[in-house]
Amino acid sequence: MASVTQHQIQKFHKDGFLVLEQFFSAEECDSMRSQIQRIVAEMEVPPHCRTAFSTREEEQLQAQGSSDYFLTSGDKIRFFFEKGVLDEKGNFLIPKEKSVSKIGHALHAYDPVFKQITHSPKVQELGRKLGLERPVVVQSMYIFKQPGIGGEVTPHQDATFLHTEPLGRILGFWIALEDATQENGCLWFIPGSHTNGITRRMVRAASGASTCVEFVGSEPAYDYKQFIPLPISKGGLILIHGEVVHKSELNSSESSRHAFTFHVMEAKGTTWSKENWLQPTPELPFPSLYT
């Protein structure tokens, strides 16, 4: 992997994203893929996915159960499924390894393979080149984007979900573990869209509310003509500014689009919002990127 140039870093500040092809080796990608296969092979379906739906009220409690499952996943390795892959009893309608949508949110802390990748010397060097002084890892996810059913991700800014004061302290690292193409759901960005702040936040709902999180503010209308696709080869890394607008389409192809992604926060002079769904815990304070 060639070292990142000042010119590339300037481009990142201008566009809000940066594509670095062949940042990781094929071997590193394959080690992540085989590790996730082992994790999925041992996966138990969470109990909240197994209860048969009956009354409306039970259905709402059910959703509350799954929302707790999500809300408390920051310091665990948990499984999230594509729509329509489980029957009403929580049994798989398709092979389980093809049913998972993502695994989150603490692979970087608890899995040796993903921990090593997240804290690898080249990631740390990139952090230093970007001028990060006290970067901490806040979350990680393995995203499958399954063939034919890998759902679209609507236009969003990561800072909507991971809010800091001041803004501009969140950085996503998105690693293609297989070639990402327009057919299988590569990322799309609006260049320069990271300079307008955010208009919407996802916050923890008040206790006793019917949902665990709610959106505050309004979603802007995006001009779809402004999005550009960023296909990238296996091993490539896309750096994502916390406020840049991006999306991905449904995977309509026969091939999956696996990716490993993690988010880093510059902790120096930064306040992590107490209203974020994700909170550091005594078991897992946000670990330093540089250790």
Q: Under a CB-based contact definition with an 8 Å cutoff, are residues 259 and 170 in contact? A: no
Q: What is the pLDDT of residue 47?
A: 81
Q: Is a pLDDT exceeding 90 seen at residue 227?
A: yes
Q: Residues of the chain with pLDDT > 90: what percent? A: 78
Q: Report the mean per-residue pLDDT for the chain.
A: 93
Alpha carbon distance 260, 174 (integer Å): 6
Mean pLDDT to the nearest integer, 256-261: 98
Alpha carbon distance 288, 1 (integer Å): 23
Q: What is the pLDDT of residue 89?
A: 83
Candidates 76, 66, 85, 191; CA nearest to 144 is 85
pLDDT digits (tens, 9 = 90+) for 9-66: 999 999 999 999 999 999 999 999 999 999 999 998 888 787 665 566 666 666 666 7
Q: What is the pLDDT of residue 163?
A: 97
Mean pLDDT to the nearest integer, 239-260: 97
Q: Is a pLDDT exceeding 80 seen at residue 242?
A: yes
Q: What is the pLDDT of residue 45?
A: 83
Q: Which of 91-95, 99-103, 175-179, 279-283 is predicted least confidently?
A: 91-95
Q: Quick one: tokens of 197? A: 């702040």
Mean pLDDT to the nearest integer, 131-158: 95
For each of the domains in the chain, give its residue range(s) and CATH number, in order of start: 6-272 (2.60.120.620)
Q: Is a pLDDT exceeding 90 seen at residue 6?
A: yes
Q: What is the pLDDT of residue 230?
A: 98
Q: What is the pLDDT of residue 58?
A: 65
Q: Is a pLDDT exceeding 70 seen at residue 206?
A: yes
Q: Which of 56-60, 203-207, 275-279 is predicted least confidently?
A: 56-60
Provide the whole-model pTM. Answer: 0.94
Question: Which positions ≥6 away from 35 have C-beta within 8 Å?
Answer: 111, 113, 114
Q: What is the pLDDT of residue 65?
A: 65
> The tokens 């803004």 sit on which residue?
167
pLDDT digits (tens, 9 = 90+) for 61-81: 666 667 888 999 999 999 999
Burial of 237 (0-12, 13-18, 19+ CB in 10 A): buried
| pLDDT tier, 84 (very low <50, low <70, confident <90, very high otherwise) | confident
Q: Residues of the chain with pLDDT > 70: what percent? A: 94
Mean pLDDT to the nearest integer, 276-287: 96
Q: What is the pLDDT of residue 12?
A: 98
Mean pLDDT to the nearest integer, 244-269: 97
Q: Under a CB-based contact definition with an 8 Å cutoff, are residues 114 and 32 in contact? A: yes
**Count of all residues that appear for the chain in the document:** 291
